[in-house]
Amino acid sequence: MAPTTTRPVIGTVCVPGSKSITNRALILAAQATGPSILIAPLRSRDSNLMAAGLRALGISIEDHEDGSWLVTPGPVVGPADIDCGLAGTVMRFLPPLAATARGVVRFDGDPHARTRPMATVLDALRDLGADIAGEGLPFTIAGHGALAGGVVTVDAAASSQFVSGLLLSGASFAGGVSVIHRGDPVPSLPHIQMTVLALRHVGVEVDDSEPNRWTVRPGPVSPWTTIIEPDLSNATPFLAAAAITGGAVTIKNWPSSTTQPGDEIRMVLQRMGASVELVDGDLTVTGPAQLQGIDIDLHDIAELTPTIAALTLFAAGPSHLRGIGHIRGHETDRIAGLAANITALGGDVRADHDALHITPRALHGGAWPAYADHRMATAGAIVGLLVPGVCIDDIDSTAKTLPDFDRMWDDLLGGVS
């Protein structure tokens, strides 16, 4: 049962490292010219699966008592079996690196992972010279010790991860890689900007000067040296708790400049009437007496949709969350899942292909299925703050990116129930 509160939520939270940056850093460190120490990485199911996959390919990753990882690169080799779990970054970032291995590498994952789009990256790798059997999980790569690389055209409208995955290993392809996107706009472009910045951090030459074309030159990859930023998307439920209860929550170590899409929660909360202040690395959100509805295009920051949808249920007027069609292919169909859960609690929601239209009304308790999706689970926790009797069936799904979420949530609320 989700904890409920009748008082403003006030507190300070430290969130662990970014999953997106951690998994990019792991892939790059595996290709580096020497050892890397990853400081403040996220330890979650997704990042642990990435580390396990790299270890299976022959990369040494040592755990240190301070939470850091020592990554020592070496030849990428098979045979290997890779468990992707439900992690898009693992199933889309590791295959391009595995294509440079010598030996057979087999990929599989959770049952729902087998339904997630994969053909774009697999077909692209075939065009670049990879030997692959299968169109989605499970699939097998027969590595020959190198990949030719070159120019490839893809339709990445379903996920920016298709582009990022190819770029992250491009420096290890014989001819580098040039990825050209053709189709509807690529979603979550900040994640591709994150990839480009990560590549440049390790000395890889990247040309992104032309829209919808990204080129990575072949060459050495320097060891990773950048401290992993806190995961700003994981911070958003805690900020939402302040926003809907009229409280005040501070997140420590918020970066002044970042490529993480989660940073946009500041803009969203301000538009909904909350006060947002960033001072010396501390971000504080103070909730208003009444949140306002919002009409917003979330195409580039769609991972925030579950948090924002939960907020809009308690606003003064209707909200329209647009440009989110691609989240139907995330850990679950998030549009359908949110619409079903909100309706089940008595809410007024209309879903179309790429939007949610929500009109606030009185809600009642009931089941809130998480669909094994961490962001669906945290959205239910937000709703449960003000609606007694919300029962989340799988709060443990938050371990995908934030293993201690339930403890952190209880700590912030002071153990209320």
**CATH number for the domain that contains residue 334:** 3.65.10.10
Question: Is residue 62 a contact partner of residue 20, using CB atoms and an 8 Å limit?
Answer: no
Mark whether 198 and 124 lie in a shared domain. Answer: yes
Of 188, 216, 244, the position where a domain reaches its end is 216
**Confidence (pTM):** 0.91
Would you say residue 314 lies in a domain?
yes
In which residue are the tokens 């538009």 written?
Answer: 271
Q: Is 205 a known active-site residue?
A: no
Would you say residue 222 lies in a domain?
no
Q: What is the pLDDT of residues 267-302, one digit of tens each?
A: 999 999 999 999 999 999 999 999 999 999 999 999
Mark whether 262 and 308 lie in a shared domain. Answer: yes
Give the number of other Cβ atoms within 10 Å of residue 51's Cβ: 23
Say which amino acid occupies 236. T
Mark whether 282 and 393 lie in a shared domain. Answer: yes
Q: What is the pLDDT of residues 373-409, one digit of tens each?
A: 999 999 999 999 999 999 999 999 999 899 999 999 9
Q: Domain residues for 193?
A: 19-216
Domain count, the chain: 2
Catalytic residue among 62, 229, 277, 303: 303
Mark whether 206 and 316 lie in a shared domain. Answer: no
Would you say residue 5 lies in a domain?
no
Over 90: is that where the pLDDT of 232 sits? yes
Mark whether 205 and 282 lie in a shared domain. Answer: no
Encoded tokens for 367? 């089941």
In which residue are the tokens 């900007």 written?
Answer: 193
Would you say residue 295 lies in a domain?
yes
The whole-number pLDDT of residue 417 equals: 39
Q: What angle do CA 304, 310, 316 make, to 5 degrees?
A: 120
The whole-number pLDDT of residue 329 equals: 84
Residues of the binding site: 19-20, 24, 88, 116, 159-161, 188, 303, 330, 334, 375, 400
Cα separations (Å) of 35 from 25, 132, 200, 382, 393? Answer: 12, 30, 17, 41, 42
Mark whether 330 and 253 lie in a shared domain. Answer: yes
Cα separation, 347 vs 175, in Å, equals 54
Mark whether 184 and 261 lie in a shared domain. Answer: no
- Residue 359 pairs in a beta bridge with 348
Of 190, 216, 242, the position where a domain reaches its end is 216
Q: What are the phi and psi torsion angles at 329 (to 5°)?
A: -105, 20
Mark whether 339 and 314 lie in a shared domain. Answer: yes
Handedness of CA 311, 326, 263, 321 (dihedral sign): negative
Encoded tokens for 35? 């050892």
Would you say residue 1 lies in a domain?
no
For residue 10, give the nearest of 283, 311, 249, 274 by alpha carbon. 249
Q: What is the pLDDT of residues 308-339, one digit of tens each?
A: 999 999 999 999 999 999 999 888 899 999 99
Q: What is the mean pLDDT of the chain?
A: 96
Residues of the binding site for phosphoenolpyruvate: 19, 88, 116, 161, 334, 375, 400
Mark whether 175 and 308 lie in a shared domain. Answer: no
Q: What is the pLDDT of residues 91-147, one digit of tens each?
A: 999 999 999 999 999 999 999 999 998 999 999 999 999 999 999 999 999 999 999
pLDDT band at 49; cut points 50, 70, 90: very high
Would you say residue 3 lies in a domain?
no
Residues of the binding site for 3-phosphoshikimate: 19-20, 24, 159-161, 188, 303, 330
Q: What is the pLDDT of residues 13-47, one digit of tens each?
A: 999 999 999 999 999 999 999 999 999 999 999 99
The whole-number pLDDT of residue 236 equals: 98
What is the 3 state secondary structure string of the chain?
CCCCCCCCCEEEECCCECHHHHHHHHHHHHCECCCEEECCCCCCHHHHHHHHHHHHCCCEEEECCCCCEEEECCCCECCEEEECCCCHHHHHHHHHHHCCCEEEEEEECCCHHHHCCCHHHHHHHHHCCCCEECCCCCEEEEEECCCCCEEEEECCCCCCHHHHHHHHCHHHCCCCEEEEECCCCCCCHHHHHHHHHHHHHCCCCEECCCCCEEEECCCCECCCCCCCCECHHHHHHHHHHHHHHCCEEEECCCCCCCCCHHHHHHHHHHHCCCEEEEECCEEEEECCCCECCCEEECHHHHHHHHHHHHHHCCECCCEEEECCHHHHHCCCCHHHHHHHHHHHCCCEEEEECCEEEEECCCCCCEEECCCCCHHHHHHHHHHHHHCCCEEECCHHHHHHCCCCHHHHHHHHHCCCC
Mark whether 155 and 259 lie in a shared domain. Answer: no
Of 216, 243, 278, the position where a domain reaches its end is 216
Mark whether 185 and 112 lie in a shared domain. Answer: yes
Mark whether 254 and 156 lie in a shared domain. Answer: no
Would you say residue 2 lies in a domain?
no
Would you say residue 4 lies in a domain?
no
The whole-number pLDDT of residue 220 equals: 98
366-368 vs 390-392, strand pairing mode: parallel
Question: Is residue 111 a contact partner of residue 140, using CB atoms and an 8 Å limit?
Answer: no
